[in-house]
Amino acid sequence: MNSDSRNQAVILRGAVIVIMILLAAALRLVPHPWNLAPIGAIALFSGSMFRNRWIAFLLPLASLFAGDVFVGFHKLMLIVYASFAVSVAIGRWLGENRTVARIGGAVFLGALQFFAVTNFAVWALGGFYPKTAQGLASCFAAAVPFFWNTLAGDAMYAGVLFGGYALAEKILISSREPSAETSR
């Protein structure tokens, strides 16, 4: 493959990834159950797909902010954004070694850290629970149904993003590369 073809393939891959992320981000604006949203999966996907660290972190956080413009802002935003940045870092750990098992582990780890970080923040910064061990336990117990929604949403959207990209790569990108028979 010559350098022009290689550059075109890189641009096409990048465009496919960005379009997939933007489409998934738009789904956040569609009514959905609490925490059954695409942002966690977007963060993992972006972290895994982009070699450029700035783009990997900026795109999902910008998508989150754009959605917040419509959905509304809240006092825990910075903590939520930091948690999604951790999910981008988990996606970077995936890198190009994207097996179903590793993606599943990353989805679980991303959902678990989001649950722990954001619910600790609700307990520490909110006025809903007493600042005791029992208050913290009550906060986490009350949030368990939201964890299952987060995990389900992250798993579903990660399947769509990673699976959709693999399919798009097979259809769009591989079809542009010359076959072994035509290059003889």
pLDDT digits (tens, 9 = 90+) for 45-59: 999 999 999 999 999
Q: What is the pLDDT of residue 175?
A: 63
Question: What is the identity of the amino acid at 21?
Answer: I
Q: Is residue 145 part of a domain?
A: yes
Global pTM value: 0.89
pLDDT under 70: residue ranges of the chain: 1, 173-184
The residues, any chain, with a CB within 8 Å of residue 22's CB and separated by 6 or more, are 63
Q: What is the pLDDT of residue 170?
A: 86
Q: Which domain holds residue 92?
A: 3-176
Q: Is residue 35 part of a domain?
A: yes
Q: Is residue 184 part of a domain?
A: no
Question: What is the identity of the amino acid at 138?
Answer: S
Angle of CA points 103, 107, 52, to nearest 5°: 70
Q: What is the pLDDT of residue 178?
A: 53
- CA distance readout (Å), 133 to 115, 127, 137, 141, 176: 17, 15, 6, 12, 59
Structurally, how many domains does the chain consist of? 1
- From CA 162, how far away is CA 166, in angstroms rounded? 6
Q: What does the CA dihedral 87, 59, 45, 119 come to, rounded to 10 degrees?
A: 30
Q: Is residue 155 part of a domain?
A: yes
Q: What is the pLDDT of residue 182?
A: 40
Residue 40 is encoded by which pair of tokens? 């966690």
- From CA 164, how far away is CA 142, in angstroms rounded? 34
